[in-house]
Structure 1
């Protein structure tokens, strides 16, 4: 019984046809009282009833009540013996109707924008978590696979070093995931510094070179732009480790006044890689589109190229 009462308590109250009819009758009654008394309370009651109607009902239902109020005032003016209706009162009725409807539309627009912002934030967090986990877990798998092979060869010291690297990657990935969820980005490093860190991680994990070349006058970009460039590089290098094992990589970042140009390339690998099918490229393209940029990825000159262009 208590659950039923709680459900009834929190159930939304929807306006009914009876309420609409009651408000229409109240409008007519207020007009009649105004015709008899010519007092301010009747006018106030008329405007309040009209405002409630517009607020609680859609336009297709509230508009007839507004027209009813206008028609009632015109008829009341004729019955009262006046040659012309009270234009001031008619103007007030129209103004209240339009103002209330405009306020209702603004509220609905703000609610829709709030919903869109929530959905966009969810998508952003999902991309963040995916990028972080894909980068961290892929590097851990490479180290653990190497540790397994080293243990079979009874090279325990090197295997322990690989396991230690995997542990450190798991720890840093967990910390970065927490920062992404809580949106703690107080003082991120400059983009070239962050890219250098990713290149060094790639070299440490794969024992293959990863060159970084930065051209143009380097400067700080908008946080979302820097984050997109950083995550794209991270995802691209992760894909190199997974799908082209044993291949080196190259990262080129070009600054110019109109935008930023990022290229991550790697030659083809003779070793078989892991199959694709993840959401990495989809996430990178979404980041680029949100910033008004473009991203392309595919085979180029016997290797693979990820190319991101974003405006500054």
Structure 2
């Protein structure tokens, strides 16, 4: 629709302009529009139909048509509109050199026409007026182009940020699923091995192991539904594991696990509680896999500026049922959780067993105030 609109404005505007510029018998009179004049007023807008596929060709075509229209002496008016549109579009499409060259060429042609072709040369004011018009159009085009590029850059950064957040969410989800499945399936495997070993001689103990398997499988299904539920738009965007569930975790793990708390327990940020819970869960999983029969002690130390999480075991007297599966990603995953919060995690032999210790900083806004103390 733009070429049609430009052509309409040029024709009707030029018809109106020639009423005050065409004076028969006056040597300074402009030439009335004839078929060639109308053709030139239409040729420029027609060339604009190629502005998207051939912007430079369109620019020079419209410039040539405009110069020819002026040199043939037709009335001034909106005949320059097509040229202004072509200049603007050339800058917008990145052909700035061609736009400035064509604009300068148009101005020089007008100066030459007004100085040497017209019977009475024009002064500096008309020359400056045409040059100012061209500069204004180029300036507006540059500003519009800069704003468009800034908007495109903001959109690109926004898309990159969205992709980064989605990647982090997928990584967090994978880590959560690893911890949930690793702990529960390892516990089920150990208890199933115990049930098979005791089924004939100690059926009551085997029944206890099977009961533990039933509860563990139920718990893992419930937690998996909770974790996968965050993929729905109407679900909470963070997993629900926190330190309030630690007692259930220790009890579900078995009688060989115990919990100890020092300091003043208090609510902590969800990220800190979730990391502490997962570190304990992964550590107990490793004890069940690699040190069956060992006793494990979970210790939480609430300090003024950090939470210390420690899991120690007494060492295994027999090889673990899952010890041949390789190192896995348990300890590196725990280190990543601690590092993500600005904390540290160490893991290694201790006395006759193994110890995992994580130091998780507590953000200042959650620290107890002096008045509360």
Q: CA deviation at 1:161?
A: 2.9
2:199 aligned counterpart, secondary structure: helix
**Whole-angstrom CA distance in 1 between matches of 2:108 and 2:271:** 66
Q: How does 1:16-165 map to 2 (within 5 A)?
A: 22-29=54-61, 37=78, 39-40=80-81, 42-44=83-85, 46-48=87-89, 50-51=91-92, 53=93, 62=94, 65-81=95-111, 82=127, 84-85=131-132, 86-153=134-201, 155-165=202-212
**Larger Rg belongs to:** 2
Out of 201, 211, 225, which is 1:178 matched to? 225
2:318 aligns with 271
Aligned to 2:75: none
Q: TM-score, normalised on structure 1?
A: 0.77
CA distance in 1 between partners of 2:288 and 2:177 (Å): 19
CA distance in 2, matches of 1:139, 1:121: 27
TM-score using structure 2 length: 0.66
Cα distance in structure 1, aligned partners of 2:63 and 2:335: 61
Distance 1:23 1:287, change over 3 A: farther
Contact 2:307 2:360 (8 Å CA) reproduced: yes
Q: For residues 205 and 172 of structure 2, what CA distance do their matches in structure 1 show?
A: 39
The match for 2:278 is 231
CA apart distance, 1:40: 5.0
Aligned pairs, number:
278
Aligned partner of residue 310 in structure 1, secondary structure: strand
Q: For the residues of structure 2 that align with 1:137 and 1:169, how far apart are their CA atoms?
A: 8
Residue in 1 aligned with 2:354? Answer: 304
2:360 alignment partner, SS class = strand
Equivalent-residue separation in structure 2 for 1:308 and 1:30 (angstroms): 73
CA distance in structure 2 between the partners assigned to 1:296 and 1:76 by the alignment: 75
* 2: CA distance, partners of 1:292 / 1:38: 68
How far residue 103 of structure 1 moved from its aligned partner, in angstroms, is 1.6
Q: Distance in 2 between matches of 1:233 and 1:143?
A: 19
CA contact (8 A) 2:87 2:138 kept: no
Q: Offset at 1:89?
A: 2.1
Change beyond 3 A, Cα 1:113–1:189: closer
- Cα distance, 1:310 vs structure 2: 2.7
1:260 aligns with 2:327: no
Q: Deviation of residue 95 (structure 1)?
A: 1.0
8 Å Cα contact 2:265-2:302 kept in structure 1 = yes
Query: Gaps (5+ residues) in structure 1?
Result: 1-17, 54-61
Question: Structure 1 residues 49 and 130 mapped into 2: Cα distance closer, same or farther (>3 Å)?
Answer: same
**Superposed displacement of residue 68, structure 1:** 2.3
C-alpha distance in structure 2 between counterparts of 1:27 and 1:308, whole Å: 68
Higher relative contact order (CA 8 A, sep 6+): 1
Deviation at 1:181, TM superposition (A): 1.1
**In structure 1, distance between residues paired with 2:210 and 2:51:** 71
Matched, 1:195 2:246: yes
Q: Unaligned 5+ residue runs, structure 2? A: 1-49, 71-77, 112-126, 363-373
- RMSD of aligned Cα (Å): 2.9
